[in-house]
């Protein structure tokens, strides 16, 4: 369990996060939902160490080895799919890269550059790169956004398997309640700006199990 408390953030005079308190299940998949632009990505960036919070405590979350799947693909345009994944892995990880490509269904695109890929495929590489890295904490910002239903399910299964294998904590931003219902052990819903945690639901309350 990771306890985040009182995270506040303003952009100039505009308050975005008005004291976020969350207890993330670890290991477990935690989904973060809420209206567009309410500050979900800001919170994720604070946890990733890319933005400083104005106040609050991350409860040691920031010190964990982490991996991030950004909302935009952030692939190196001058490197192939294989090279983009190998980039975040230690040297001599050829086999590991090949395994990740297989798991993510990207073997056919191994030598393509990102401009040659569709939006959905780029997103797939983005997620594959994030999940390739062994980590205690995975921060995933709408990782299934531009994927087709069919491929999406396959990748969700991969995420579940990877989370179990790593015994990791996952914080996943989504707008899709079905996605949350399928994946989340715990889900948080934020209010509109300035954001506060509005609702917390655990898996048993989804009524699935």
- Confirm or reject binding of residue 87 to other proteins (CB under 8 A): yes
Q: How far is it, in rounded angstroms, from Cα 31 to Cα 52?
A: 22
Residues 107-126 touching other proteins, rule: CB under 8 A, are 113-115
Q: Report the residue number, 11 or 153, with the smaller CB distance to other proteins.
A: 11
Query: Which listed residue (10, 54, 63, 72) binds other proteins by CB under 8 A?
Result: 72
User: By CB neighbour count within 10 A (0-12 exposed, 13-18 middle, 19+ buried), where does 71 fall?
Assistant: middle
Residue 178 has a CB neighbour count (10 Å cut-off) of 10
Contact flags string 125-164 toward other proteins, x per CB under 8 A? --------x-------------------------------
CB of 71 to other proteins, least distance (A): 10
CB of 208 to other proteins, least distance (A): 32
- Confirm or reject binding of residue 41 to other proteins (CB under 8 A): no
DSSP of 138-182, one letter per residue?
EEEESTTTT--HHHHHHHHHHHHHHHHHHT-EEEEE-S-HHHHHH
- Report the SS3 class of residue 58: coil
CB of 65 to other proteins, least distance (A): 9
């Amino acid at each position: 369990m990771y306890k985040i408390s009182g995270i506040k953030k303003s952009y100039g005079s505009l308050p975005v996060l008005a004291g976020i308190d969350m207890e993330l299940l670890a290991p477990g998949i935690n989904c973060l939902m809420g209206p567009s632009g309410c500050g979900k990505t800001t919170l994720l960036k604070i946890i990733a160490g890319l933005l400083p919070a104005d106040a609050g405590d991350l409860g040691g979350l920031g010190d964990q080895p982490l991996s991030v799947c950004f909302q935009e693909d952030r692939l190196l345009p001058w490197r192939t799919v294989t090279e983009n994944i190998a980039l975040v892995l230690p040297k001599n990880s050829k086999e590991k890269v090949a395994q990740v490509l297989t798991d993510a269904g990207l073997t056919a695109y191994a030598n393509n550059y990102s401009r040659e890929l569709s939006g959905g495929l780029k997103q797939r590489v983005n997620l594959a790169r994030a999940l390739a890295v062994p980590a205690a904490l995975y921060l995933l910002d709408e990782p299934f956004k531009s994927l087709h239903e069919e491929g999406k399910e396959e990748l969700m299964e991969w995420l579940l398997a990877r989370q179990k294998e790593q015994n990791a904590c996952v914080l996943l931003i989504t707008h899709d309640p079905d996605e949350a219902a399928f994946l989340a052990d715990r889900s948080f819903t934020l209010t509109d700006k300035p954001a506060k945690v509005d609702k917390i639901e655990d898996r048993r309350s989804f009524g699935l199990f």
